Amino acid sequence: MTDILKRRSVDLLVEQFWRKGYLTLSRKFGTYLPEPDSVGGFEVDIIARQKNKYAIGITIVEEDFKDQNRLLSKLSYLANRQTRAGNLPVMLFLGIKSELLNSLRSIIDQLDEKTKKNIRIFQISENRSFSLRGGSNASQPLFS
């Protein structure tokens, strides 16, 4: 059951990458893309790029908070990565459920300012709001 939830969380994080204009290079649970290699011994869920900018994406689940020191070192290590050519910073995108957000922020507050600037947090949730065009506009002809 947790694999299904993890897969859905990775899918929702990929959508956030797409909204930001990133092209997914590798991802976990993908059909056509390869799984990303571990970075410094830490598992990552997504690797993406936008022109010359690269980004790493991970989803944070409740199990990760059991060992907060490991989570802190993982965030610090991944947020301080640089590209091989050009030494450009690699952004770290974190996908997390809203009920765990405050716990994550308290851990991120322990990092230095330079590291914090490379981290972006996205709330991932199943709830989506669909807007339906209704009322009188739906019955009007498209062309007149």
Give 53-72 pLDDT, tens digit per residue. 888 889 888 888 888 888 88
For residue 139, is it within any domain? no
pLDDT at res. 141: 54
For residue 99, is it within any domain? yes
- Residue 22 scores a pLDDT above 70: yes
For residue 143, is it within any domain? no
Q: Please tell me the distance from the alpha carbon of residue 64 to that of residue 59, in angstroms, as a whole number.
A: 10
Average pLDDT, stretch 15-29? 83
Nearest CA to 10 among 78, 96, 91, 72?
96
For residue 138, is it within any domain? no
Q: DSSP character for 112?
A: -
For residue 77, is it within any domain? yes
pLDDT digits over 81-133, tens only? 887 877 888 888 988 888 888 888 888 888 888 888 888 888 887 654 333 34
- Residue 78 scores a pLDDT above 80: yes
What's the number of domains the chain is made of? 1
For residue 137, is it within any domain? no
Q: How many CA atoms lie within 13 A of 81 on its CB side?
A: 24
For residue 39, is it within any domain? yes
Average pLDDT, stretch 29-47? 80
For residue 17, is it within any domain? yes
List the CATH number of the domain containing 101: 3.40.1350
Parent domain of 113: 2-126
- Alpha-helical (H) ranges within the chain are 2-19, 68-79, 101-108, 113-116
- Residue 135 scores a pLDDT above 50: no
